[in-house]
Structure 1
């Protein structure tokens, strides 16, 4: 009888933790450094294996100067739309209901999320930053057309669908150097293309990872040109990994993703032990900006990465 009571309480506790509102309150740590700028760079299809085996001097430098995990988790299904949506909405498909790349905005025409009106998108980190700082410059540049449908149309100062990884990185770098945006999100797609066309773990795949590293280097050079280095946090992560020429399943190669954070107020050369889910990214950005995450977000800030 006691065992059944204990089991019931355990199941109830687990159920409550999984509900909307589980996002940790965004209480600033005493003495914690707050950046003026945050840049998130998402590389579609980038696996931890890619970073470990390809030539990636820029990422290696960010790892050495920051905190990282090669065991962060994508959500299931390990496909693009559910995971990009989770990364920017601070929760999983169980709540934002984007389950596949076939999702369209019309799918939510008669649905309400997070207390919003019918047809209104689940609130993203872009909206959270905008509500915290109404006058902030917020920019997103993306290389996959369908990324744009996952976030609001009315919160970014600049929201641009670019043509290819080179154009995306160059445009983002130029904008950062000139405008010094408060929050920037950059999406690059070519690593995923290499995985689908040639296979994960192939020389072509690793070459695409090395190219992503050089494009991240362009962004970091722009940060330096803008004089933002000492006031910026950069997060580099991915939506999913891959196996053979695909992804979408539950193998470690598909689910495990890199999560790297470096910059103002971040611990140096630390391999993170805290479990990290992709939807923790949005909550961590909110925490860095001292913004309160919506009650419907279920992620947590990666506090282990922050200096005390």
Structure 2
């Protein structure tokens, strides 16, 4: 099933609480101002990008802490490897692993193009998302995604979408205050049944070096700001007529780990001088993981991958090596995934290639906050190992949608 072809979109320019205007686009013919009252059920998925579960405390994030304590909470929740932004967001909206969704990882070696590229094109998603499936049922959906590449990869799948603006230089994301303004505007003006929102501030500050006191303050400030905005948003939702049938899903796509300056790993250097490996592999650096693709003769593949595994495991800072088949990352994801230990980071092909101390994509950053709140949610603390991939089947169960032909890989958490 492919995404609907939406060549024409209507545009709504609405006043925003932050001043100026929020520009929303909608599929041609889409209803505005709550004109699709098929059901009173509402689901809002709020992704707090890069948030660690131990950062939700009464002191630093009192609103999130209170919502979690009064909601349906999964303390053992995990992101899915490779724990990067794009694949985890796609898994949230599809409920299937990357080999079925078509999105293997943020950085992949594309054999067809013979180059390392960044995944994030609309055509990468080959599996129907909940944004489309609800539309097929006559319901409306919305996307409010703070990162420019997330906005791009989900394309026009939602009935309504917000193009992040203004974008900060370098990070290419809109601050959470603008994202929240757009979210409220979309609900006020279009009232979609499902809204998928990403808040990127915590992640962007999280990639900074927290060994300095000033940056620690910035990280705490980002946590406090995002917490206050989400707390205010939920309080606002409580005033709406649909609150009793509303579910708010709050989670992160991954958490964050920090490396010391002297704990860099370069597999390019480790493979240098090895006849089976030097010049025979491509490495896509993912911070917490290196993705290795073998480029040599087919007859040498087995020996070369075994050698790459041996050399990698002997390299200081390396935690483990997995095949992309074991991780179900899809045909485009190369051959091996090498994870680093907590406190380390990969930097390939050179030691200066990855100067960012904060990173994710490895087991140290799998633990995430994950809880449900809202008028339709009964409080509970559950020991199940919930994951980002469980969001789509949860949405499907709430709205009474059947599972796709081959089923979801995730599990409904309501």
TM-score, normalised by the number of residues in structure 1 = 0.75
- Give the secondary-structure state (helix, strand or coil) at the position aligned to 2:368: strand
Larger Rg: 2
Residue 144 (1) aligns with residue 132 (2)? no
* Equivalent residues of 1:75, 1:278 under 8 A apart: yes
* Cα deviation 1:136-178 (Å, max 9, x = unaligned): 3321111101112332514423343343211110121133234
Q: Secondary structure at the match of 1:256?
A: coil
Contact 1:142 1:162 in 2 (8 A): no
**Cα pair 1:176 1:223 within 8 Å, conserved:** no
1:188 maps to 2:199:
yes
After superposition, the C-alpha distances for 1:216-258 in whole angstroms (9 at most, x for unaligned) are: 1232233134333222110100110010133334233x11111
Stretches (4+) displaced over 4 A: none
Match of 2:242 among 218, 228, 233: 228
The verdict on how the C-alpha distance between 1:292 and 1:264 changes in structure 2, with shifts beyond 3 A counting, is farther
Partner of 1:246: 358
Tell me the secondary structure at the aligned position of residue 98 of structure 1: coil
Q: Is the 8 A contact 2:79 2:367 kept in 1?
A: yes
Counterpart for residue 44 of structure 2? 39
1:1-308 correspondence to structure 2 within 5 Å: 36-52=41-57, 55-101=60-106, 102-105=118-121, 108=124, 121-132=126-137, 134=138, 136-163=139-166, 164=174, 165-199=176-210, 202-244=216-258, 245-252=357-364, 254-268=365-379, 270-296=380-406, 297-303=408-414
Higher relative contact order (CA 8 A, sep 6+): 1
Deviates more, 1:65-74 or 1:283-292: 65-74
Deviation per residue, 1:170-195 (Å, 9 max, x gap): 12113323433211111110100111
Q: Going by fraction, where is helix more abundant, 1 or 2?
A: 1
- When residues 35 and 58 of structure 1 are mapped into structure 2, their CA distance, relative to the original with a 3 A threshold, is farther
The 1-side partners of 2:163 and 2:236 are apart by: 18
Uncovered stretches (5+) of structure 1, i.e. residues with no partner: 1-33, 109-119, 304-308
- SS of residue paired to 1:52: coil
1:215, distance to aligned residue in structure 2 (A): 1.5
Q: Higher strand proportion, which one?
A: 2
Q: Which residue of 2 aligns with 1:24?
A: none
RMSD, matched Cα: 2.4
In structure 2, distance between residues paired with 1:106 and 1:217: 32
Conserved in 2, the CA contact under 8 Å of 1:74 and 1:257?
A: yes
